[in-house]
A and B are shown apart, each in its own frame.
Chain A
Amino acid sequence: MSKISDYESIVGAEVINELKMLAKKLKDKVIQNINSTSVGGGVAEILGRMVPLLQDLGVDARWDVLKGGEKYFQVTKKFHNALHGRKTEITSDDYEIFLETTKENIEQIEFYGDIIFIHDPQPVALVEKRRYLKSRWIWRCHIDFTSPDPEIWKFLKSFVEQYDACVFSAPSFARPLPIRQFLISPSIDPLSEKNRDLSEEEINNVLEELKINRDKPIITQISRFDYLKDPFGVIEAFRLVKKYVDCRLVLAGGGAVDDPEGQKVFQEVVEKAENDPDILVLLLPPASDLEINALQRASTVILQKSLREGFGLTVAEALWKAKPVVASAVGGIPLQIAHKYSGLLSHTVQGTAYWIRQLLHSPEYATRLGENGKAHIKQNFLLTRHLRDYLLLFLSLEEEEDVIYL
């Protein structure tokens, strides 16, 4: 488990000192995080890292998990899909199951926090307990909220409105609400297996295992096999580049094992590759973090040619490795890439191919973009910035002013 001091060599002593100063101001507060699972999923992963680091800073942060049966989680899965804009039928029985489980949890959970920090839609209705408590309540929405199904949003909104504040990840996710809304971007952990420094030997070992030869430039897209990640467009762009530059394409991703659509997309991508020996389509098993890290580090250019994207943290992962990135200007990607400064933004297959060729022909420019990209991620998208924003968020609950002297 990483300690806050482990990050000092990466972000500098000043950043760690600022975190310590902020943490001191919260020493009398208990922060109670509540979500729906202790293992698996992005939120559990974030809490698993954040809570111990907050404790290491001296903040009394704790973590409780809501309990629910199989039916309840089937319902919340439906909510999740509908909030992502997928057409999903939600019955009155579903709402009843959701409310009944919430009621049981309100009775079972001990709400001891000065600040109750609720993560994602599953435990959102616990806020019904609020009227009996003096605590401050925050709802943290981690999911893509670009176009939620109006019916489910109407239902959830009645609970969200009872909070003191809510937090979204990107400007386009924010909704008209009568409560305060904060914008806090997600982050990557530079010390995790997916992002830590690797030796050349480690990189070579992984590439040997994956049977990828490093004899020519490697262009890579890491993403699950999903139409919205446009793997077909990536292959088309690669073929346009290949006319002029000899190179290799790697399309690698996981998450298709229990996803029937993912399996189908994977098969279609393999067919589209037409046995071209320079196109490698890799289905990675879960927990392939080391493999992803090595693949990114071995790449000459990294792509994220998504048609739609939540935040798109794979871009931050690639930039952290100082790689030149060509990505679509969708979702949270323009927050991570300033066009021509820290990467390149494209809108079409032809544009993607054009920028890849530019990068392959101008290695100095590619290096500069990668270095700028890394600096940008260091400043704005590392876990330490995420911790800082959370500490500021907790402190802001007691303040109405826009300039606050601590």
Chain B
Amino acid sequence: MHKKKPRLTKAKQPFHFYTRLNLIEFTGKKATNLRELVEIMKEVPGSVIYHHTHHYLQQHLYLSPEPPNDFAYWVTYILREDELGEEIASIDLCEFSTIRSLREKIIETIEEHLARNPGTLRTAPPGAEFHFFKTITFILPTPYIAGDLLEFLKALRKISIHSIYFHMFEAKLRLEKGENDFSRWIEDMLKEKELAREIAKFDPYTFTMEGLRGELCRLITKHIPGEIIECQK
């Protein structure tokens, strides 16, 4: 009697891998103290807040798993407000599914600090002002498409880190989808609820991008029957 061969669930709709490329634009605005910083933060587009909380991560994503955001860096190292700097740095980006709510949290943190410390407003020295930039994001398709978990794993090993970045970070926060694209497809199309949940509960901000790729591959491999993995070797 033949042993039934394990088969992978085929998705009704395949996963199309996209990537994103960024261009940085200067807004022309700059702040010299906390009050100016907070006022400008209230009026700039969301792409500015996104830039200053994520660009370090994008530029150093293979180096350090501890991305400081620009606001925390400036407050700590230029204004020398260490306590506030730490408060801003420790805002948990994972908790936010919209730029608006993230912006409100940073503003609230600074305003509470200002209320606790009336009359002490430190000024940045000339040349060290906070310059506001924004990220313009270009989203484009890649040739990689996956119809099942094995194809997904193979593509994941090949796509650029920009593509991983796009589906894990940008889709959730900037495009306000509420969760990352990988979890959603794995749950909706492959019905692999446990794997989807495991990926969804990642804190991607605590990995380097290659570390994140490795961890995703490890988790997905666990959910593919051993015989199928063996066949691919």
Contacts and interface: CB of A to CB of B under 8 A. Distances in A.
Interface residues of B, number: 36
A167 to B, nearest CB: 10
A333 to B, nearest CB: 14
Interface in A12-58: 12, 14-15, 17-18, 21-22
Contact of A341 (B19, B64, B175): B64
Interface string B112-145: 0000000000000001000101111111101100
B60 A376 contact: yes
A66 interface: no
A382 to B, nearest CB: 13
Contacts of A172: 127, 131
Nearest to B27: A181
Contact of A402 (B59, B134, B160): B134
B40 interface: no
B19 to A, nearest CB: 7
Contacts of A395: 138
Interface stretch (A155-163, A296-304, A386-394): A386-394
A404 B62 contact: no
A17 B23 CA distance: 18
A146 B26 CA distance: 15
Given A14-B160, A380-B59, A403-B174, A396 B136 contact: yes
Interface residues of A, number: 39
Contacts of A338: 60, 63-64
A176 B25 contact: no
Contact of B23 (A18, A176, A396): A396
B62 A392 contact: no
A388 B21 contact: yes
Contact of B175 (A12, A396, A403): A403
A389 to B, nearest CB: 6
Contacts of B143: 17
B28 interface: yes
Given A14-B159, A341-B60, A376-B60, A403 B21 contact: no
A21 B143 CA distance: 10
Contacts of A180: 25
A255 interface: no
A171 interface: yes
Nearest to B175: A403
A-B pairs with lowest CB-CB distance, top 3: A402-B47, A14-B160, A181-B26
Interface of B: 19, 21-26, 28, 45-47, 59-64, 127, 131, 133-140, 142-143, 158-160, 162-163, 174-175
29 contacts: A12-B160, A18-B21, A22-B21, A168-B26, A171-B131, A171-B133, A172-B131, A174-B26, A181-B28, A182-B23, A183-B25, A184-B24, A341-B64, A375-B62, A375-B63, A376-B59, A376-B63, A392-B21, A392-B23, A392-B136, A392-B138, A396-B23, A396-B136, A402-B45, A403-B137, A404-B136, A405-B139, A406-B138, A406-B140
Given A14-B160, A176-B28, A389-B23, 13 more contacts: A14-B142, A14-B163, A18-B19, A22-B138, A171-B131, A182-B25, A375-B63, A379-B61, A388-B21, A393-B23, A404-B136, A404-B139, A406-B138
